[in-house]
């Protein structure tokens, strides 16, 4: 047994490959099935290739990817040779990739060409060398970088560049210990066992998919079904074909329910699904009831972020519970509230702080930002607003930067979004504030509908008015078929104004 001091994330797979080599480990995006012996062999081959390229301790391995065995194999292979894996989404633009490469200076870049047209496009532009293997096709290029990692990066396993960052890229350094802690906590929370089949449509380039799916399944010795990208029809097929654990985000669940309704069904039946959860975005009571009715299971909620290696809090509620909190802190994790944020009318709400083994090592090559994020006592400032109730459950109400102060009152976008989402024609919504010339803020709602042209925004505003006090009601409502979103399905609010410039002019 590997001691915690010497633990590396590739040991998770090695242990099960030694004990249960014939157990199914991965169902790949192309539906190819691999057992743990084959999984381990893929990792060994990937590590051998990295070694041949001269990759060693402290080097960075950039992985331009969509979910597939190749990506998982190279994440663990980087660990095996002492390097740091940098998985990034293949759907990034060349400019976004270049910014990350300039900051991280990776030794080599891997492109998951066999499963991703976008990765293949990026690989072709740089002349990456193609490889065909028995665990998938990919391409590799030597970037020529020989930059040493800073001393403060020691112990790092993976560096994730956060979604939607502006200015200089911020790479979150997650250590082997961070990911081991997250894997154990996630697997325990979900009651994962070797017989489970975990659905992995959450991108491995995002902390939710990396920690709560890949690492947790590897820790439990469970099988993971990887999906290159979210497609409701593929999710439904998987849920009807043996998947037992399905972590997702609210947008995913909403679109799955919408798809199933088009097939003439109102709920999921004859499925082996036993655990379903939602994270990365707030829940509202009405939507939670709909989801639980659809799945026939309790919808568990959770809260975390890249800098906290995913999970901070999570629920373990029975079905039908009205609770829409994100639950109490996970074992071994502390949380507290800094009440100095916002206006004086809501003193119970403040910035969420957390401390424990889940907190990142820091930002790669950015000690100044690290010092701003983590204080001398180890508390991580999450940038999220919330409150803690009498049962020690955390209620997340939004981002500090997204807090809208209208007429001197705090308005939390998730509360407005919940009122909008309660309307039967609404799939999901996103609410932001915009400064006015008088210093106040107006509330703008962007609403995704199946047929936006048939939705009466005046009637929708009246619908919301029955549910919200006047200062919380949207000043403008823009309807659309699609909202700008990250690969996880999380709405990118910083892109809303730019995406809907014309509609805002016409509104």
> DSSP string of 290-348?
HHHHHHTS-EEEEEEEGGGTEEEEE--PPTT----S--SBPTTEEEEEETTSS-TT-TT
From-to residues of CATH 3.40.50.12780 in the chain: 177-401
Answer whether residue 440 shows pLDDT above 80. no
71: tokens are 């990506």
Q: What percentage of the chain reaches a pLDDT higher than 90?
A: 69
Whole-angstrom Cα distance, residue 176 to residue 155?
A: 6
**In 154-214, where does DSSP find H-type helix?**
176-190, 207-209
Q: What is the enclosing helix (H) or strand (E) of 421?
A: helix 413-421
From-to residues of CATH 3.30.300.30 in the chain: 403-506
Average pLDDT, the chain: 91
pLDDT, mean of residues 179-197: 97
Whole-angstrom Cα distance, residue 158 to residue 60?
A: 9
- Between the two ends of the chain, the Cα-to-Cα distance in Å is 64
Exposure pattern of 350-376 as b/e (b: 16+ CB <10 Å)? bbbbbbbebbbbbbbbbeeebeebbee
Q: What is the enclosing helix (H) or strand (E) of 433?
A: strand 426-435
From-to residues of CATH 3.40.50.980 in the chain: 35-149
Convert the pLDDT of each residue in 24-44 to its tens digit: 999 999 999 999 999 999 999
Q: What is the DSSP letter of 145?
A: -
Answer whether residue 143 shows pLDDT above 80. yes
Answer whether residue 341 shows pLDDT above 70. no
Q: What is the dihedral of CA 478, 497, 407, 457, to 10 degrees?
A: 0
Convert the pLDDT of each residue in 457-497 to its tens digit: 999 999 998 888 788 899 999 999 999 987 777 788 888 98
Whole-angstrom Cα distance, residue 1 to residue 93?
A: 43
Whole-angstrom Cα distance, residue 442 to residue 490?
A: 23
What pLDDT score does 165 carry? 37
What pLDDT score does 166 carry? 44
Answer whether residue 389 shows pLDDT above 70. yes
Convert the pLDDT of each residue in 242-301 to its tens digit: 999 999 988 789 889 989 999 999 999 889 999 999 987 677 788 889 999 999 999 999
Q: Taking Cα atoms as reference points, which of 233, 231, 239 lies closest to residue 199?
A: 239
> DSSP string of 64-133?
EE-SSHHHHHHHHHHHHTT-EEEEEETTS-HHHHHHHHHHH--SEEEE-TTT-HHHHHHHHHHTPEEEEE
Answer whether residue 22 shows pLDDT above 50. yes
CB contact set of 413 (below 8 Å; sequence gap of 6+): 398, 402, 404, 430, 431, 432, 433
Grouping H, G, I as helix, E, B as strand and the rest as coil, residue 214 is helix
Q: Domain 35-149 falls in which CATH fold?
A: Rossmann fold (3.40.50)
β-sheet with 426-435: strand ranges across: 426-435, 441-449, 476-480
User: Which of these ranges, 210-219, 222-231, 279-288, has the smallest mean pLDDT?
Assistant: 279-288
495: tokens are 């892109």
Q: What percentage of the chain reaches a pLDDT higher than 70?
A: 95
pLDDT, mean of residues 53-78: 97
Confidence grade of residue 455 (pLDDT, cut at 50, 70, 90): confident
What pLDDT score does 252 carry? 86
Answer whether residue 164 shows pLDDT above 50. no
Answer whether residue 355 shows pLDDT above 80. yes
Q: Taking Cα atoms as reference points, which of 292, 287, 265, 289 lies closest to residue 276?
A: 292
Tally of helices (H runs) and strands (E runs) in the chain = 16, 25
What pLDDT score does 467 carry? 85
Select 403-506's CATH number: 3.40.640.10, 3.40.50.2300, 3.30.300.30, 1.25.40.80.
3.30.300.30
Beta strand pairing call for 310-314 and 223-226: unpaired
CA distance readout (Å), 117 to 28, 30, 90, 312, 353: 16, 14, 9, 35, 40
Cα torsion angle, 330, 253, 171, 430, sign: negative
Q: Taking Cα atoms as reference points, which of 8, 5, 370, 1 lies closest to residue 183?
A: 8
User: Which of these ranges, 85-99, 142-156, 303-317, 401-415, has the smallest mean pLDDT?
Assistant: 401-415
Answer whether residue 167 shows pLDDT above 60. no
Other Cβ atoms within 10 Å of 102 Cβ, number:
10
Answer whether residue 3 shows pLDDT above 80. no
Select 177-401's CATH number: 3.40.50.12780, 3.30.300.30, 2.120.10.30, 3.40.50.620.
3.40.50.12780
Convert the pLDDT of each residue in 324-333 to its tens digit: 899 999 999 9
What pLDDT score does 470 carry? 83
Q: Taking Cα atoms as reference points, which of 437, 401, 455, 462 lies closest to residue 478?
A: 455
CA distance readout (Å), 77 to 72, 180, 181, 302: 8, 16, 20, 30
């Amino acid at each position: 047994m590997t001691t915690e001091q010497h633990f590396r994330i590739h040991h998770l797979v090695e242990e099960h490959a030694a004990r249960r080599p014939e157990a199914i480990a991965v169902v790949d995006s192309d539906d190819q099935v691999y057992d743990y012996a084959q999984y381990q062999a893929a990792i060994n081959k990937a590590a051998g290739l990295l070694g041949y390229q001269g990759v060693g301790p402290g080097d960075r391995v950039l992985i331009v990817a969509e979910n597939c065995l190749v990506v998982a194999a190279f994440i663990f292979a980087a660990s095996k040779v002492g390097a740091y894996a940098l998985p990034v989404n293949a759907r990034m633009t060349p400019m976004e990739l270049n910014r990350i490469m300039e900051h991280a200076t990776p030794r080599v870049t891997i492109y998951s060409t066999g499963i991703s047209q976008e990765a293949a496009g990026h690989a072709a532009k740089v002349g990456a060398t193609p490889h065909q293997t028995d665990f998938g096709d990919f391409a590799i290029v030597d970037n020529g970088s020989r930059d040493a990692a800073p001393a403060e990066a020691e112990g790092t396993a993976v560096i994730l560049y956060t979604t939607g960052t502006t200015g200089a890229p911020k790479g979150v350094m997650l250590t082997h210990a961070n990911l081991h802690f997250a894997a154990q906590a996630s697997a325990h929370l979900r009651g994962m066992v070797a017989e489970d089949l975990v659905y992995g449509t959450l991108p491995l380039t995002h902390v939710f998919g990396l920690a709560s799916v890949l690492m947790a399944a590897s820790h439990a010795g469970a099988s993971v079904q990887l999906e290159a990208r979210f497609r409701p029809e593929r999710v439904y097929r998987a849920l009807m074909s043996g998947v037992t654990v399905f972590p997702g985000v609210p947008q995913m669940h909403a679109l799955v329910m919408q798809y199933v309704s088009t097939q003439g069904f109102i709920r999921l039946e004859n499925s082996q699904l036993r655990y379903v959860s939602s994270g990365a975005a707030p829940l509202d009571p009405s939507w939670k009831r709909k989801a639980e009715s659809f799945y026939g299971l309790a919808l568990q909620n959770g809260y975390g972020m890249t800098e906290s290696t995913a999970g901070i809090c999570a629920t373990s509620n029975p079905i039908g519970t009205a609770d829409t909190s994100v639950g109490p802190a996970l074992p071994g994790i502390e949380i507290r509230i800094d009440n100095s944020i916002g206006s004086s009318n809501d003193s119970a709400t403040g910035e969420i702080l957390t401390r424990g083994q889940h907190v990142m090592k820091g930002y790669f090559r950015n000690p100044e930002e690290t010092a701003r994020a983590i204080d001398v006592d180890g508390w991580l400032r999450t940038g999220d607003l919330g409150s803690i109730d009498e049962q020690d459950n955390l209620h997340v109400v939004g981002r500090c930067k997204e807090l809208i102060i209208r007429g001197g009152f705090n308005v939390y976008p998730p509360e407005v979004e919940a009122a909008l989402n309660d309307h039967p024609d609404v799939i999901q919504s996103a609410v932001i504030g915009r400064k006015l010339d008088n210093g106040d803020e107006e509330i703008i709602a962007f609403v995704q509908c199946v047929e936006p042209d048939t939705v009466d925004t005046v009637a929708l505003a009246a619908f919301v008015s029955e549910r919200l006090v006047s200062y919380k009601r949207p000043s403008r409502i823009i309807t659309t078929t699609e909202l700008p979103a990250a690969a996880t399905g999380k709405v990118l609010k910083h892109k809303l104004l730019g995406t809907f410039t014309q509609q805002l002019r016409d509104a």
